[in-house]
Amino acid sequence: MKSRNLLLTLIAGIVVLGIFAAPETGARDTRNLWPIADAMNTAEAKAQLDQGVQLFFGDSAHPAVEKSLGVFQSNKKTRGVGRTDKEACEWTFLSAMLSFQARAKELGGDAVIKIESYYRKAPVPSATEYECGSGALMSGVTFRGEIVKLK
């Protein structure tokens, strides 16, 4: 009986050590650049984005600014299971833009300018692409932009 308990303890110890000492399995962390135009032209974006709050990406030209209401960040994540990376990223993109628009309305603004990807605090100030990270289960974006009242 003692030898059986010793054997079970030894096996349990090996299993526990194997779990904690196993090399990392290489969790997926894919960072992609996706076209802003594709995300803006999804059926969901066309149906949900507020045309009264304009969005300007990177160094895109915009009307003169009457008043800056501050620089804000939006960090959104969604499940990636059952979606392509692009589908999940477009969903998080839309969620982030909707949060910018809601904040702009709340502050009395009518535009968000200089919108840039800020995934993992790495700025990507593009007028045509945004960065999105995708793992095995989740996809996410971070943006920052300046909320303004245009002249």
> What pLDDT was estimated at residue 19?
46
Identity of the amino acid at 89: C
Is 100 domain-assigned? yes
Instruction: Please state the pTM of the whole predicted model.
Output: 0.81
> What pLDDT was estimated at residue 22?
45
Is 52 domain-assigned? yes
Structural domains counted in the chain: 1
Q: Which residues of the chain have pLDDT under 50?
A: 16-24
- Tens digit of pLDDT for each residue in 69-97? 999 999 999 999 999 999 999 999 999 99
- Tens digit of pLDDT for each residue in 17-32? 444 444 445 688 899 9
Is 17 domain-assigned? no
Half-sphere exposure of 18 (CA within 13 A, CB side): 6
Q: Which residues contact 54 (CB under 8 A, 6 or more apart)?
A: 62, 110, 111, 112, 150
- Print the domain residue range for 122: 28-150
Nearest residue to 129 (alpha-carbon basis) of 121, 141, 139, 138: 141
> What pLDDT was estimated at residue 107?
98
* H or E, element range at 56: strand 54-57
Is 109 domain-assigned? yes
Is 9 domain-assigned? no
Q: Largest Cα–Cα distance of the chain, in whole Å?
A: 86
> What pLDDT was estimated at residue 60?
97
Q: Which residues contact 128 (CB under 8 A, 6 or more apart)?
A: 35, 36, 37, 57, 58
> What pLDDT was estimated at residue 21?
45
CATH number (domain holding residue 104): 3.30.110.70
Is 57 domain-assigned? yes
> What pLDDT was estimated at residue 10?
53
> What pLDDT was estimated at residue 8?
54
The CA-atom distances, in angstroms, between 23 and each of 57, 107, 136, 137 are: 41, 49, 18, 20
Is 15 domain-assigned? no
Is 3 domain-assigned? no
Please state, rounded to an integer, the average pLDDT across all residues of the chain: 89
